[in-house]
Structure 1
């Protein structure tokens, strides 16, 4: 009986210890923001303009390594891993290339580019606002038509595709394992950073939600 109680106690302890394990994912915030801005400039064109090279990598010059003394690959692995993370932290070029090369992300930007004028008009009227997760939220349904609501739904689907792609790109570029826990954590941070980027580019008078949940006008 005592042995059974001891085994049960150990089992409960292991369950509790597993439950409180947290995943700490490296998140290069500045690089992520730079990548979002770069792709907006490259792929998010004004309505009516064609999106060049859709589905291809953004025109970011690759970094060419200079020749030097060679060492064995096993010896260089820690150095290579650290360099990849450091480069991603310094700028968003690698992230922009990785994210922009995803066909679904390029398609999302192409669709978004065709509705920018209509979407801006909804923001101007106060009918919609920007959420803390970078999505578009209806604030005044009386100012919305059925077509407007469909537009908002399509826009949010595209934005979720971009944010989800960014989460995958971050883990790949920074050489981190793409577990569900890591993706979930990275996705939340990628969404918050996307929202921050959008707030910075928003026009005066547009409604936006801060990270604390409060709605304000810029």
Structure 2
């Protein structure tokens, strides 16, 4: 009787340990593709998209032919490196395009970008004045160097802007899991979201204008 009881207790203990075990989530995060997808969405949905027109050739003259740039013959003997680089770039472009298409099909993402576009003029003015900066998660916050406090309207604007940015980051995490055919568990979503936020912040820092305040991943604030 005692042996049976001991075996039963041991079985229950093993079951409890198994139930409490930490499940390791292993999801590949395509950093370069995610960054390119963020940039594509910003170009398509956030900015005006207006670009200076290419000047037309003078009447009677053919379009100017592109100039041939001198090329080194160093790589002529190493074609395999070029092929590998092209293949890697093609894979990255395909992944970025798939992510951008997936994100742009989400109603919540389109709504977030529509709202961010409306806030963009005022937000850029706050960035230019040094009143706000880009945090290491890609959010808009008041940097330590800012003098004075934001007005009530601007505080509401920042809260709404950050909510939209969080929606984009969360949607990126969901898109990555979906395209990799991974289960959208809480653990997997949190893991991918953390990396998606860091990549989003990198994208926003690269797009920042000179003089804007930015927080680096080591928590240090700098001006671009």
Question: TM-score, length-normalised on structure 1?
Answer: 0.74
Greater alpha carbon shift after TM alignment, 28-37 vs 171-180: 171-180
Greater Rg by CA:
2
Q: Is the 8 A contact 2:173 2:196 kept in 1?
A: yes
1:169 aligns with 2:175: yes
* Deviation, structure 1 residue 207: 1.2
Instruction: Give the structure 1 partner of residue 37 of structure 2.
Output: 35
Aligned CA distance change for structure 1 residues 111 and 9 (closer, same or farther; 3 Å) = closer
RMSD after superposition: 2.2
Matched residue, 1:25? 27
Contact map agreement 2:39 2:203 (CA 8 A) in 1: yes
Distance 2:8 2:95 in 1: 57
**Structure 2 gap segments, 5+ residues each:** 51-89
- Larger mean CA deviation between 193-202 and 137-146 belongs to 137-146
- Choose which of 169, 181, 186 in structure 1 pairs with 2:187: 181
Q: In structure 1, list runs of 5 or more residues that go unmatched.
A: 50-85
**C-alpha deviations, 1:51-97, integer Å up to 9, x for none?**
xxxxxxxxxxxxxxxxxxxxxxxxxxxxxxxxxxx956754101000
Residue 94 of structure 1 pairs with residue 93 of structure 2: no
Give the drift of 1:145: 1.3
1:88 & 1:178 partners in 2: Cα distance? 23
Q: Conserved in 2, the CA contact under 8 Å of 1:30 and 1:90?
A: no
Work out the CA distance in 2 between the residues paired with 1:6 and 1:91.
Answer: 49
* Contact 1:30 1:91 (8 Å CA) reproduced: no
* Aligned residues of 2:32 and 2:92 also touching (Cα < 8 A): no
Q: What is the TM-score when the length of structure 2 is the normalising length?
A: 0.72
